[in-house]
Structure 1
Amino acid sequence: MTSTEQTSHKILSDKAALIPSFLKTKGLFNQHIASFNYFVDVEIKNIVKANDKITSDANPVFYLKYNDINVGMPSSEEGFNIINEKITPHECRLRDMTYCAPIYVNVEYTRGNQRVVSKNIVIGRMPIMLRSSRCVLSKLSTEEEMAHASECPYDPGGYFVVRGSEKVVLMHEQISRNRIMINRNSKKELICEVLSTSQDRKSKTYIIGKKGRYYLKHNQLADDIPVVIIFKAMGYESDHLIATTVGIEEEYIAAIGPTIDECALLNIISRADAIKYLIPRIRRKTFGSIGVRVSQEHDVLDFLSNSMICHILSPEGNMKMKAIYIGLMIRRLIQAEKGICDADDRDFYGNKRIELAGSLLALLFEDLFKRLIFCFFKIFNACSEKIFTDNF
């Protein structure tokens, strides 16, 4: 064995000695509990803040706004308006119940010309992870207290009790978000894609090459749009500026040249021309900004600012950073096509992220909360069109 191999073997053995210490301090389940705690303390508030206001098309004066949200302590409904606030996981196991807690919201809305504030309104219930910050066991520190609650002091928690059965939310592998990836599509063609995630939006943006020209693809676009038109719609009206955003080297300028020529053939010179070109090609959203009617031009600007590569912010409509990012995507795709760099391996663990229980529950809660908002929106519109003897 060479000296290098001996050194490498020693380093590995030293690292192996750290594993028992790591498990003793961190444990195997603490990451699940920390993920759930972050969800109920931080993420759930951010989700509500991003979707906090509902207005009505039929009555522009009316609105409903969520001011705050919090998850209470575990309880059970024993009967009509009878709440048992001293429920324990052991009792839920014995009685085939779900160990869950109410979700409270503070809302503000208009009733006629008055502003009304209501607090601690229950909009649902949420299963609570054992040993999390919302669990009654988190306040028990001694073995005697745990034994009094009929719980094992060595139980690490990190699971749920649903209808009397213990359930675990498994970790999920997901492709890394907000990261440029070079892959091949079903036709084995190279494409550049980014899975963008912000607090209130999620979207996938693609840069694809067709016959030497480059296009942007997005699920909110009816057609693939030449990237130069996207640049012009963001305020980059100079062809030279667009080309140098991709790269100042001759090979990149030559690669983007045919796309610039295509834009010229379409007679798109200014930002106004580009926005006009995009208006019929934008799919108008069914809902999102609930109850707000906007112009078609606003739809285009909203797509460019908030939907396309949504993790890159556009403060006050300044899309410079977003344009630079698209230029980088085109540059990476050109490099892959010319063999300067390889396509990314989807199975490489560095290109993945592990989604824990808190992240997965956040996705589920966001979907259900948006559905609740949309149901309210339809009800408000239906009620506003009727004639009432009193304000609703």
Structure 2
Amino acid sequence: MKEEFLEQMIDRNVVKHQIESYNRFVEERIQAILNEVGSIEPELPDGEDLVIKIVDVDIERPKINEADGSVRKITPREARMRDLTYSSEIKVQMTPIFEGVKQESEEVTIGEIPVMIGSDLCWTSEWDDEEKRRNGEDPEDTGGYFIINGSEKTIVSMEEMADNKPIYQEDDGEQTCRINSENSGYVQRHQLVRDKDIVEISFANVKNTPAIALIRALGYETDKEIVEAIGEEYSSDVYLNLYEVDASNQEEAYEYVGRQAGITSDVQERVDKILDEYLLPHLGQEPDSREDKAELLASMIRNVIALGKGDITEDDMDHYANKRLNLAGELLEMQFRSVFLGKWGLVARMKYNFQKSAKRGRLPSLQSTVVSDTLNKQIMGAMATGNWVGGRTGVCQSLERNNRIKTLAHLRNIVSPLSADRQHFEARDLHPTHWGRICPIKTPEGMNIGLRTHLAMSANVSTGMSKMEKNSLEMKLEETGIEVE
């Protein structure tokens, strides 16, 4: 019975969460990021209209280009032996539309991504035990790691606070609400603080601004509407906050928010951008989402006031319901998104190269405008050094191979973003919600105790739903007569 338990819990499921996360990144998230771009519109010197439509993405299994020009598949063993990177090319189908006329589509190679051993993209996923032996692979190897320049690397899971969920805290008579609002990989951190009965909000370039002003700017113009939205039981607190804001209607609220954000010109347009794109983006980034934003903001103000009056209790930040794990797929998505959409990313460089070539009197091929090294250097460089977008360090590490147990433990490692130099006593403590999820024993001694943990053998990591999946589920529930709020 013991052997059966070990076979089911260790050999088959130890890296299931990482492999599934990587498969999701390759099969869905890369295409979703490209869909966000949709099209590229370079500016041509003569004013001609050119739109480059991004149609589809194709990622083949790992291959190698030999010195003699031949192309063949590469196995993980060969990558280890020859100090190569086990990776696949990303090919994107692009269609130029010049002056409204659709041109011939072109398949463009934008770079390479590392392939996780054991994933659907890896050759080993279709091999049986005998074929693995013939190709120099251990049939007992679980996979879940990468081969970068011949070295085995693993991306450790990163523990983060849950996105799109308000967390209420109280400290020294000051009540706060924090929410990380996430939409398609873009995260905007918000903080509401109630100090001396005034509730202020900070996010993006809006700092310490009375939250009531934003509700008014979102369309709740009258005092009565705002009081009803927040709660009539706290009307005295709401009126006190209204008195602090020098704005009696939406237009004045725009000017007030603009002053708080340091905006001196194009106030209407720039405040619109703040309200639509930066304020609670998980509810939407279009004007039709403003009512939802006003309702959530009013709810957050109500709860902050209620916390100060003792009507509700603060949230436990260390409760695992308030945390999420960023696995290999999510972390690679962050890096890919940064390299592809960043200020000096692949799309920006493609536009620049296209414009530079067009100025010389010719329209270049799409492939010639793509600097594939941009993607290769930044993603492979991050994998080699462990330094990730957002200032994270130690995300990618050399895989422990001292013994099998150490390897399995390393593949299930979890790292907290908290600094090891600080005390963080409560964060380091064992929490009741760790039971069955986090191993109570496997954590290092010293400064990292409690901040570097490991998944328990009984833990199962589920994946979140995309907006499309969520909408599909809501439609199915409504079809069965279940009301969805």
Please state which band the TM-score falls in when normalised by the shorter chain: 0.7 to 0.9
Selected match of 1:358 from 325, 329, 351:
329
In the alignment, the residues of structure 1 paired with residue 159 and residue 361 of structure 2 have an alpha-carbon distance, to the nearest angstrom, of: 55
- Identify the residue that residue 256 of structure 1 maps to in structure 2: 238
Q: Does 1:203 align with 2:188?
A: yes
Which segments of 5 or more consecutive residues in structure 2 lack a partner in the other structure?
365-485
Q: Does 1:389 align with 2:393?
A: no
| 1:237 lines up with 2:216 in the alignment | no
Residue of structure 2 in register with 1:158 after alignment? 144
- 1:95 paired residue number: 82
Distance in 2 of aligned mates of 1:364 and 1:165: 20
2:157 counterpart of 1:171: yes
What are the residue-to-residue correspondences of 1:273-312 with 2, within 5 Å?
273-279=252-258, 281-282=260-261, 296-312=267-283
| 1:119–1:324 distance in 2 versus 1, CA, 3 Å | same
Secondary structure of 1:173 counterpart: strand
Three-state SS of the structure 2 residue aligned to 1:260 is helix
How far apart, CA to CA, are the structure 2 residues paired with 1:17 and 1:246? 58
Name the CA distance, whole Å, in 1 between partners of 2:248 and 2:173: 34
Q: Match for 2:176 among 188, 191, 197?
A: 191
How far off is 1:169 after superposition?
1.0
Q: 1:69 aligns with which of 47, 54, 57?
A: 57
The answer as to whether partners of 1:314 and 1:322 remain within 8 angstroms in 2 is: no
Secondary structure, aligned partner of 1:311: helix
- Deviations 1:135-190 (CA, angstroms, capped at 9, x unpaired): 111111x32222222211121111111111111111111111110012368x8833
Deviates more, 1:375-384 or 1:197-206: 375-384
Residue pair 1:204, 1:218 contacting (<8 A) in 2 also: yes
8 A Cα contact 2:168 2:175, kept in partner: yes
- Segment of structure 1 superposing worse, 61-70 or 346-355: 61-70
State the 1:79 CA deviation.
3.0
Structure 1 residue 391: deviation in Å? 4.0
Q: Take 2:67 and 2:260, find their aligned partners in 1: how far apart are those partners?
A: 55
Question: What SS class does the counterpart of residue 168 from structure 1 fall into?
Answer: strand
Q: How does 1:1-392 map to 2 (within 5 A)?
A: 23=9, 27-56=13-42, 59=47, 61-79=49-67, 82=69, 84-111=71-98, 114-140=101-127, 142-183=128-169, 189-199=174-184, 201-221=186-206, 223-249=207-233, 252-263=234-245, 266=246, 268-279=247-258, 281-282=260-261, 296-313=267-284, 317-370=288-341, 371-379=345-353, 386=359, 388-392=360-364
Q: Which amino acid aligns with 1:193?
A: R
Q: Secondary structure at the match of 2:73?
A: coil
The separation in 1 between residues aligned to 2:5 and 2:237, in whole angstroms, is 51
Q: Is the 8 A contact 1:106 1:117 kept in 2?
A: no
> Secondary structure of the residue that 1:102 maps to in structure 2?
strand
Letter in 2 for 1:331: R
1:174-217: per-residue Cα shift (whole Å, max 9, x none)?
111110012368x8833211101111522011212243222221
C-alpha displacement of 1:67: 2.2
Q: Any conservation in 2 of the 1:53–1:64 contact (CA below 8 Å)?
A: yes
Equivalent AA in structure 1 for residue 225 of structure 2 = L
Residue pair 1:45, 1:70 contacting (<8 A) in 2 also? no
Q: Cα–Cα, structure 1 residues 64 and 282, in superposed 2: closer, same or farther, change >3 Å?
A: farther
Partner secondary structure for residue 85 of structure 1: strand
Whole-Å separation in 2 of the counterparts to 1:379 and 1:236: 47
* Aligned counterparts of 2:328 and 2:94: Cα–Cα separation in 1: 28
SS in 1 for 2:315: coil
**1:55 and 1:63 in contact (8 A); partners too:** yes
Shift of the 381–323 alpha-carbon distance from structure 1 to 2, 3 Å rule, reads farther
How far apart are the structure 2 equivalents of 1:105 and 1:272? 46
The CA distance in 1 between the partners of 2:269 and 2:3, in whole Å, is 60
Amino acid at match of 2:243: D
- State the one-letter code of the partner of 1:75: K
In 1, Cα distance between the equivalents of 2:169 and 2:348?
Answer: 36
SS in 2 for 1:335: helix
Bigger CA drift: 196-205 or 111-120? 111-120
- Residue identity opposite 1:271 in structure 2: Q
The alpha-carbon distance between structure 1 residues 375 and 224, as it changes in their structure 2 partners (threshold 3 A), is farther
The residue matched to 1:344 in structure 2 has which SS? coil
Q: Once the 2 structures are TM-superposed, how far is the Cα of residue 365 of structure 1 from its aligned partner? A: 0.8
* Count of residue pairs brought into register by the alignment: 357
Structure 1 residues 260 and 280, CA gap change in structure 2 (3 angstroms): closer
Percent of residue pairs identical: 26
In the superposition, the TM-score normalised over structure 1's length comes to 0.81
Q: Which runs of 5+ in 1 are unaligned?
A: 1-15, 285-293
Structure 1 residues 344 and 248: CA distance shift in structure 2, 3 A: same
